[in-house]
Amino acid sequence: MSGIIQLLPDHVANQIAAGEVVQRPASVVKELIENAVDAKATEIKLIVKDAGKTLIQVIDNGLGMNVTDARLCFERHATSKIRHAEDLFALHTKGFRGEALASIAAVAHVELKTKQDQEELGIHIIIEGSKVITQDVAVLPKGTSFLVKNLFFNIPARRNFLKSDNIELKHIIDEFERVALAHPTISFTMISNGSEVFNLPSSNYRQRIVNIFGGKTNEKLVPVTEETEILKITGFVGKPEFAKKNRSEQFFLVNNRYIRSPFLHHAIMNAYDGLLRDNNQPSYFLFLEVPPHTIDINIHPTKTEVKFDDEQALYAILRATVKHSLGMFNVAPILDFERDANLDVPYDYKDKTLGTPTIQVDRSFNPFETENETKKYSGSSVSYTKNKQAQPHWESLYTNLKQEASEVSVDAFETDLVASTLFDDKSTESQTLLYQFNRKYIINSIKSGLLVIHQSRAHQRILYEQFLTNITIYQASSQQLLFPLEIQFSRDEMLYLKEIQPNLEGIGFAFEKMGLDVLIISGLPAQISESNVTEILHDLIYNLQENVPEDSFSLSDSISKFMAKSVAIKSGKYLNTIELENIVNGLFACKDPNVSPFQKPIFITLTTEDLDKRF
């Protein structure tokens, strides 16, 4: 009688492994680029089309493979990185499981071209769904070229779960940046849909960071260096004033491998204690070197989660090192009770005694005298002569004023008095109707009692409906800037801005140029000031990436919501009477004045009966 348990066929096992290893196109990019790094390549080129859904190609000039290795690399658990179990505790390479290429070949069309330097001919293999279609020799340059087409062609359900091209491309860029940061001596190039996204020449750590995140990043960096027996730290942290609300510029690279570590991140945040605004995140690019036997990286298929032997010691060293660097470069405040630089005596006067200055006053001087006079003034070191010209009698200066005052019309005086009375009464009346309480609520008296309005949520509702209407009809007014505003963004942020460009132009933005990492703005919506536009756009990108819209209407709605939230007045801002009236009138002119764009109540009503119950 045959048993129930059976061994899975290889193609089924490969697809199951692919469920862990190949989650999206970015997973393929990560595995192929890391293989190129392990092959000792000095130049790596990444080409993607349709965010990797149609094409992913990685070309390197590494060692290449012979015929046997080229066929064997697509087998499960076939690897050149380890030989014994002990090798898992002394890893110096990226991939070592031997599942990546087998998993990729199970869910895509793969084409491999590879050649070793000492060989005359290379090998060309085509695989579709784990099946080898062709295998031929070919004339090829040194290195390896992996071409992955039609990802998830045989798993439609997985393909349907992929996000928009922009979101998938952002994940690809994230993986590309992580590997490129860890290996600055390797030249990297990335091309998406025929356009060059990155061109990173071989450089040092600082220059690689600047090449990836833009030229203005250089002024934000503070060097961090420390070396102990258990940990060596090099890299850079960002100055607190350049902190963002997202974590797009936070990198831990342990033994040249990108990792995520909430525990170490907490050490960084502790070092910045008291230097950051609420909900802001600092930038850091830290390269950590630890002995290979003190770290376990084999606890997750993507190898981004690791386990350290002595986390507490690493935490203390990292926190102290970052805090010391911030203080050493005068980023963190330093208290010194010994001296005050403002009270220092100049060097030339250090040994001199101070004398009391003498002042002489001419007590006989009279500025109202009419005759010519010559007076001589003398001081401790200066003497001069003053010639005073004859002046008309000072009483004549007021003659014309008396005459003009007597000619003032009584009718004009009465008119001004009446007008003043009217405006005073109106001002007094409006002040009795609207009050601002605690710089957060607007209190308005109505017939049935009191109306209490949340000023920030009310303004959000007003702006939300304005922005949504402007995007829909594309007729927003724009205030042109006298000098265009240039703002630096990362590459993935610029890609996102290009996608939502029509929506932003509908609100009132006018763009003069959208480069790879630079945005030049020539016009702004009337509701946005020039000083806040950088923070508003960064917040908008962060919120949209955290809450991915599903369709065009949802995108317009989300942009209007988050723009209104960023631009609206905040609690704690003082409002004058006119501003209070504008908010109240604008709120009740909205289509839905009851709730904010984020479905929170805007106002409550306290009736006279409610107040009577309190007494």
Residue 146: partners with Cβ closer than 8 Å, 6 or more residues away:
32, 35, 57, 58, 110, 111, 112
Distances (CA, A) of 272 to 41, 286, 313, 331: 38, 15, 19, 10
pLDDT, tens only, 92-136 = 555 555 577 888 888 889 999 999 988 888 999 999 888 888 999
Residue 250: partners with Cβ closer than 8 Å, 6 or more residues away:
265, 268, 281, 282, 283, 284
Closest CA to 31 of 14, 16, 18, 43: 18
Query: Whole-angstrom Cα distance, residue 570 to residue 558?
Result: 20
**Inside any domain, residue 373:** no
Query: Whole-angstrom Cα distance, residue 217 to residue 380?
Result: 57
187 plus 217 within the same structural domain:
no
Provide the CA 384 distance to its chain's centre, in angstroms: 65
22 plus 143 within the same structural domain:
yes
Distances (CA, A) of 260 to 13, 72, 250, 305: 29, 32, 9, 6
190 plus 226 within the same structural domain:
no
196 plus 225 within the same structural domain:
no
Task: For helices 205-213 and 165-182, give the axis angle rounded to 10 degrees.
Answer: 170
184 plus 68 within the same structural domain:
yes
**Inside any domain, residue 67:** yes
Residue 573: partners with Cβ closer than 8 Å, 6 or more residues away:
439, 455
**φ/ψ of residue 19, rounded to 5:** -60, -30
Tell which of 156, 180, 202 closes a domain: 202
**Inside any domain, residue 612:** no
* Domain total in the chain: 3
Provide the CA 226 distance to its chain's centre, in angstroms: 28
Query: Whole-angstrom Cα distance, residue 519 to residue 494?
Result: 8
234 plus 178 within the same structural domain:
no
**Secondary structure string (H, E, C) spanning 124-173:** EEEEECCEEEEEEEECCCCEEEEEEECCCCCCHHHHHCCCCHHHHHHHHH
- Evaluate whether 232 touches 289 at the Cβ level (below 8 Å): yes
**Inside any domain, residue 346:** no
| H or E stretch covering 213 | helix 205-213
Beta-strand relationship, 122-128 and 232-238: unpaired
Amino acid symbol at 212: I
Residue 354: partners with Cβ closer than 8 Å, 6 or more residues away:
none
Q: Is the dihedral of CA 93, 94, 99, 104 positive or negative?
A: negative
Q: Is the dihedral of CA 549, 555, 560, 563 positive or negative?
A: positive
Query: Domain with 479 in it: what CATH number?
Result: 3.30.1370.100
- Evaluate whether 159 touches 60 at the Cβ level (below 8 Å): no
Distances (CA, A) of 454 to 460, 461, 550: 10, 11, 31
- Evaluate whether 446 touches 434 at the Cβ level (below 8 Å): no
223 plus 76 within the same structural domain:
no
Q: Number of C-alpha atoms within 13 angstroms, CB side, residue 262?
A: 0
**Inside any domain, residue 361:** no
Tell which of 202, 224, 252 closes a domain: 202
DSSP 569-584: PPTT----HHHHHHHH
Q: Is pTM, for the whole model, over 0.85?
A: no
Tokens 């350290």 belong to: 308
Which regions in the chain score pLDDT beneath 70? 1-2, 10-20, 76-98, 297-305, 330-351, 354, 370-432, 474-475, 547-553
Mean pLDDT over all residues of the chain?
Answer: 80
**Inside any domain, residue 336:** no
- Evaluate whether 481 touches 522 at the Cβ level (below 8 Å): yes
Tell which of 202, 221, 240 closes a domain: 202
- The region, left, alpha or beta by phi > 0 then psi within -120 to 50, assigned to residue 85 is alpha
> Per residue in 9-25, is it b (16+ CB within 10 Å) or e — as a string?
eeeebbbebbeebbbbb
248 plus 146 within the same structural domain:
no
Length of the chain: 615
56 plus 174 within the same structural domain:
yes
Give the residue ranges of DSSP H helices in 435-590.
Answer: 455-473, 491-499, 501-507, 533-546, 552-567, 577-587
- Evaluate whether 58 touches 29 at the Cβ level (below 8 Å): yes
**Inside any domain, residue 185:** yes
Query: Domain with 133 in it: what CATH number?
Result: 3.30.565.10
Query: Domain with 269 in it: what CATH number?
Result: 3.30.230.10
290 plus 152 within the same structural domain:
no
222 plus 309 within the same structural domain:
yes
**Inside any domain, residue 362:** no
Query: Whole-angstrom Cα distance, residue 319 to residue 282?
Result: 14
Query: Whole-angstrom Cα distance, residue 327 to residue 321?
Result: 10
Q: Is the dihedral of CA 154, 160, 165, 167 positive or negative?
A: negative
Please tell me what DSSP assigns to residue 305.
B
269 plus 130 within the same structural domain:
no
| H or E stretch covering 209 | helix 205-213
The tokens describing 174, both together, are: 């994230």
Range of the domain at 130: 10-202
Q: Return the number of other C-beta atoms located less than 10 Å from residue 61's C-beta.
A: 19
Instruction: Quote the pLDDT of residue 29.
Output: 93
